[in-house]
Amino acid sequence: MKLRILVGMLLIVMAVAGCTNDNMSDSTKEKQNEEKKQDIKVVEEKSYKYDGKFTYSAIIKNESKKTLNINDLKINYINKKDQVDKNNIEASVQVAPYILKPGEKAYISAEALTDLTKFKNYDVKMTLPNVKPANDVLKLEVNKNSVKINKDIQDDETIYAVGTVRNNTKKFAEYTMIGAGMYGKNHEFIGTAFGESKDSLKPGDSSSFDLSSQEIPQKELDKVKTFSVSATTYFNK
């Protein structure tokens, strides 16, 4: 099976509630459609066919000029005619952070039970509802030297890691979301992992966190040497 995954810029299709004026000119419609597009750059991506499932990992970057809510990001697999397989089951998606400021990156994983054997070529299609972020986001400091594979937990097809995060802000962090990219010895992208801190954090406090990856073939997980980690906390505006 030949795999063709979109690279570079992915078109994020914005689902906007409301009605369209039937008398609207084509040029006006085109202009409004252009305004619905958000420049999301795919920085890294990797996919695996595994035990009847299809897993996809990516790191995306917000290259627009506004903050995006990607909490309800949807991923489908489409053929070269931009058609979703009739047996398609929408992929189960994880994202961190889920609020993405301009220039910031987010980690994504998606697992689908869709049978892709009939697709000679297929792409990843991301759909992002146009929902204004209700919360604000702050990045916390991760001790890069603390992030290590947790060898005390042995589990085929899933990697576990631990690390330390510090609240370097002036606000109380009740909850900390962790997202990470996993890399090999030559900094080749292998996949993503997700977790959270074990404790709430007062300003200046530190806490350990746990990470776990999606299911990835063990031979690929054995290549993981380093992690790129993002820690974020959220506040009501």
Alpha carbons within 13 A on the beta-carbon side of 119: 25
Q: Which long-range contacts (CB under 8 A, 24 or more apart) does 220-224 make?
A: 220/48, 220/190, 220/191, 221/157, 221/158, 221/159, 221/190, 221/191, 223/184, 223/185, 223/188, 223/190, 224/149, 224/159, 224/182, 224/183, 224/184, 224/190
- How far is residue 124's CA from residue 49's CA, in Å, rounded to a whole number? 14
Indicate whether 164 and 200 sit together in one domain.
yes
Residue 84 is given by DSSP the state B
Single-letter code of the amino acid located at 145: N
Indicate whether 152 and 121 sit together in one domain.
no
Indicate whether 19 and 84 sit together in one domain.
yes
Indicate whether 139 and 124 sit together in one domain.
no
Model confidence over 46-83: pLDDT tens digits? 988 766 667 889 999 999 888 998 888 887 776 666 66
- How far is residue 31's CA from residue 139's CA, in Å, rounded to a whole number? 35
Indicate whether 46 and 151 sit together in one domain.
no
Token output for 102:
């301009």
What is the side-by-side order of every strand in the sheet holding 105-112? 74-79, 122-129, 8-15, 38-50, 53-62, 105-112, 92-96
pLDDT at res. 83? 63
Range of weakest confidence among 54-68, 85-99, 220-234: 85-99
- How far is residue 24's CA from residue 136's CA, in Å, rounded to a whole number? 36
Residue 146 lies in domain: 135-236
Q: Reduce the DSSP state of residue 121 to 3 states and report it.
A: coil
Does the pLDDT at position 1 exceed 70?
A: no
Does the pLDDT at position 150 exceed 70?
A: yes
pLDDT at res. 111? 80
Indicate whether 105 and 159 sit together in one domain.
no
Does the pLDDT at position 129 exceed 90?
A: no
| Torsions phi, psi for 50 (to 5 deg) | -150, 115
Indicate whether 64 and 50 sit together in one domain.
yes
Indicate whether 18 and 117 sit together in one domain.
yes
Range of weakest confidence among 7-16, 44-53, 183-192: 7-16
| Domains in the chain, number | 2
- How far is residue 54's CA from residue 177's CA, in Å, rounded to a whole number? 25
144: in domain: yes
Mean pLDDT of 160-172: 95
- Structure-model confidence comparison of residues 120 and 106, the more confident one: 106
pLDDT band at 12; cut points 50, 70, 90: very low
Indicate whether 112 and 142 sit together in one domain.
no
3: in domain: no
- Measure CA 127 to chain center: 12
1: in domain: no
Indicate whether 41 and 124 sit together in one domain.
yes
Say if CB 73 and CB 126 are below 8 A apart. Answer: yes
Indicate whether 27 and 87 sit together in one domain.
yes
CATH of the domain at 87: 2.60.40
Indicate whether 83 and 170 sit together in one domain.
no
- Structure-model confidence comparison of residues 89 and 228, the more confident one: 228
Token output for 51:
């035990």
Query: In this structure, are strands 8-15 and 122-129 parallel, antiparallel, or unpaired?
Result: parallel
Does the pLDDT at position 178 exceed 80?
A: yes
Give this prediction's pTM. 0.78
76: in domain: yes
